[in-house]
Amino acid sequence: MTHTPDCQLIDTHARRANYLRISITDRCNLRCRYCAPTKPPSLESDELLTLKEIHRLVRIGAGLGISKIRFTGGEPLCRKGLDDLISRVRRTSAIVDISVTTNGTLLSDQAAALKRAGLRRINFSLDTLDSDKFRELTGADRFQSVWRGIMAAAEMGFDPVKINAVVMKGFNDDELEALAGLSRDYPFHVRFIEYMPIGTAPRAARRRFLPIAQIRERLNRLGTLLPIARSAVDGPARRFRYEGAPGEIGLIGSMSSHFCGSCNRLRLTADGHLRPCLLSDEQIDVKAPMRTGASDMVLASLFVRTLQRKKEAHRMSFSGDRKLQTKMVSIGG
Ligand code: SAM
């Protein structure tokens, strides 16, 4: 399939999808309480898309107007061959931006290979700077290896280094100032993300929820948050900077001030389904058709069909008991 410059991925609400987030594995070496199931992952290796299949779908998506790719999981660095996949995707015309979301535990060992493969930026997930709390949250005593990974990324020139923290009332909201302070000490983009009712029933999750407006108010007490003008390539974060700080603060209110109106994303799950939205169970199987000989054109039509199912806005809330059937580790956050 040759690349067509026009985006053919326009949904029924006139939004253009140019961003594909790909979960390359449902395996994760952490067991974050709010995310991962406590049982071991369930996908067998033949249920997972192969790296070759993922690359084929990227190529097809690129032909339709996808230009940004994020690899996530599970923990994407747990899957062998990520560097090879990145270097292939990098050579795919029309793909101009590749990023990875990682818990960082395995990064320091893989940073050089990922850099050589062409990765330029990384998002780390880190909800606490306290190693005891880290162990309590994730089930693993690995705070130091995450920190080493973040430092390795900074030293090797990955830019930007983003640190994403999910704010949980009564667990890490006492660390807002310490986490935000990282943006004053390092050129990091520290992003605060509202807790979403995904791994748990919405009513149970409500207890932990802290709205982004309250987070902003707290951070403002630390120093004035100076807004950074939005650019065309910005994601959902509202961006700020403390005066003189080398880094940035980002605020992402997925629940209280959702950004569905400007959502440009499609998702590919580890087991080969395209999804129009993180917060919906709607999905279309692309793996089965691919494995029974579907042409690029047929697979391209499945991208278009997935996008047609994208709702105007997600319907997830803390008021009902509606719970996502699919696990976050398989969809990819
Ligand atoms: N293992 C990688 C990592 O840790 O970044 C990638 C996968 S993880 C599912 C991606 C992101 O989803 C993480 O930043 C995690 O904090 C976020 N996440 C998981 N469950 C969430 C929830 N209920 N609310 C908000 N963010 C969540």
Residue 2 pLDDT class (50, 70, 90 cuts):
very low
The per-residue pLDDT for 247 is 98
Beta strand 265-268 with 19-23: parallel, antiparallel or unpaired? Answer: parallel
Residue 321 pLDDT class (50, 70, 90 cuts):
low
117-126, 172-181, 222-231, 255-264 — which is least confidently predicted?
255-264
Q: Give the integer Cα–Cα distance in Å for 262 and 22.
A: 19
Distance 292 CA to ligand 1 centre (A): 33
Q: Give the integer Cα–Cα distance in Å for 17 and 7.
A: 8
Going by alpha carbons, the residue nearest to atom 10 of ligand 1 is 333
Half-sphere exposure of 186 (CA within 13 A, CB side): 21
Q: Which pair of tokens denotes residue 121?
A: 């930026």
CA nearest to 314, candidates 267, 249, 272: 267
Distance 221 CA to ligand 1 centre (A): 27
Please compute Rg for the chain using Cα positions. 19
Q: Give the integer Cα–Cα distance in Å for 272 and 50.
A: 9
Going by alpha carbons, the residue nearest to atom 19 of ligand 1 is 35
Question: Which protein residues are within 6 Å of ligand 1, measured from CB?
Answer: 28, 34-35, 72-73, 75, 101-103, 125, 164, 166, 193, 195-196, 198-199, 328-329, 332-333
276 cis-preceded (ω within 30 degrees of 0): no
- Tell me the pLDDT of the chain averaged across its residues: 91
The per-residue pLDDT for 171 is 96
Q: Give the integer Cα–Cα distance in Å for 170 and 165.
A: 14
Strand partners, 242: 225
The per-residue pLDDT for 242 is 98
> What is the value of pTM for the model shown?
0.94
Close Cβ partners of 333 (under 8 Å, ≥ 6 residues apart): 35, 72, 101, 125, 278
Residue 20 contacts residue 7 (beta carbons within 8 Å): no
Say if residue 324's pLDDT is above 70. no
Helix (H, G, I), strand (E, B) or coil at 152: helix
Residue 198 pLDDT class (50, 70, 90 cuts):
confident
